[in-house]
Amino acid sequence: MSEKLKSPGMFSVRRTFYVSTRVLRQFVRDRRTFGMMIMMPILIMLIFGFALSGEVTNVPIIVQNSDQGATVFGNSVNFGSKLTDSLGKDSRVSVTLGDYQAGITEIDNAKGYFASILIPKNFTNEILAKLNKQPVNITINLYIDKTKPAIRASILGAIGDAIKSLSGQSFINVDEIGAFGGASYSGLDVAVPSVMGLVLTFLVLLVSLLTAIREDLGGTKFRLLSTPLTAREKVIGYVAALTLFALVEAMLVLVFGVYLFGATVKGNIWLLVFSAFIYGMVNVFLAIFLSNFVENELQAVQMGPLIAFPSMALSGMLVPVESMPPVAQFFSQFIPMTYAINIFEGIMLKGFSFDKLVPQFQALGIFALIFLLFSFLSSRDTMK
């Protein structure tokens, strides 16, 4: 190396260029890191652009039209049917004709519906009376899930436009009854379940990956291999320590969200802690599995966002899953964070007990078993 490169003093473009080219050569030589650097932003933008494009559409609602109609100048008129037809043509909602009370039960049990509408039997007669300047109070009953503000706004917008289409006036009242106790939630209330899911996905996954890869790079793994330690014991040891870390992270989010900022928890707080523990284990198992394919810390740091960002886009954290394109909704079923957010929202905002969340817990259990099995099968010392 020349003397100019060795000697300090004045700023040297040559020395700076040497450092830059050396770093770039390292990136190029590490093909996996180089490939992730190129593909990760493209993949993330494709997922976000595809999942978040468009407005909230096709929200499932139930409508009971009890309007008996009326006869005007020998012609049959039914404003209830016209209102129902107008809602059916609105892309923001997906109308199912059914019983109002049954719809309430479906919403309370989280069966996929977000609103139940009752059009009264004297609806047409009351509108005609109102048009004739008679003092009549016209009311539609609406039972609605308020835990997702974007979906609620879409439903109310569709109802408002349908009402205006009847007479060009909005003299029809909507008696809005909130599901799950009728509570109105602040932005913080709605955000905390998603923040919990993000923390347990991103931080737990990243820290677990870095912990596992550092043991490889530091030589700890090879020293462990000289002992009678088995792959099963090693994986379970990692899980025990890292799951404790995941639980601490979840507790910090709960303490700050609930006790400092007053976020709502309608359900059992210990069930919420248990669910956070289970989801933390899922991400620990995933991290241990991925660590078998990561060769350095840079790849581990890249792997965390590569998992976390698509999870944010497809899990319902940013926009409701119900408003996504059908293909995005299909892929959301394979994102563990989708089920975790459903559990956290169910406990915190809807007051659900364990029995109403069994399918979500079963899904997380399946993910945990799959990741744990893959961790054993792909463990390098096991393959040797």
Q: Are residues 306 and 327 in the same domain?
A: yes
- Tell me how many degrees the CA angle 243-244-249 measures, rounded to the nearest 5: 95
In a domain, 16, yes or no: no
Which tens digit of pLDDT belongs to each residue from 68-92?
988 877 788 898 899 999 999 998 8
The residue from 182, 202, 224 where one domain ends is 182
Task: Establish if 3 belongs to a structural domain.
Answer: no
* Phi-psi label, residue 55: left if phi above 0, alpha if psi -120 to 50, beta otherwise: beta
Q: Are 142 and 157 in contact (CB under 8 A)?
A: no
Kindly report, residue by residue over 101-148, the tens digit of the pLDDT: 999 999 988 888 999 999 999 998 888 888 787 787 888 999 998 888
Chain segment 313-367, per-residue pLDDT in tens:
888 887 778 777 778 888 889 999 999 999 999 998 888 999 999 999 999 999 9
| Same domain assignment for residues 239 and 282 | yes
Three-state SS across 226-258? CCCCCHHHHHHHHHHHHHHHHHHHHHHHHHHHH
Global pTM value: 0.74
Q: Would you say residue 288 lies in a domain? A: yes
In this model, does residue 5 exceed pLDDT 60?
A: no
Residue with tokens 């792959």: 231
The tokens of 309 are what?
């960002």
Q: What is the DSSP letter of 71?
A: E
Confidence of residue 65 (pLDDT cuts 50, 70, 90): very high
Q: Please report, as a single letter, which amino acid is at residue 114.
A: F
Nearest one of 215, 287, 214 to 246, comparing CA atoms: 287
Tally of structural domains, the chain: 2
Both 164 and 222 in one domain: the answer is no
Q: Which domain holds residue 174?
A: 59-182
Using the 3D structure, point to which of 161, 182, 203 is the last residue of a domain: 182
**Residue spans of alpha helices (H) in 62-184:** 79-89, 100-108, 123-131, 149-167
Phi, psi (rounded to 5 degrees) for 119: -95, 120
Q: Is residue 318 part of a domain?
A: yes
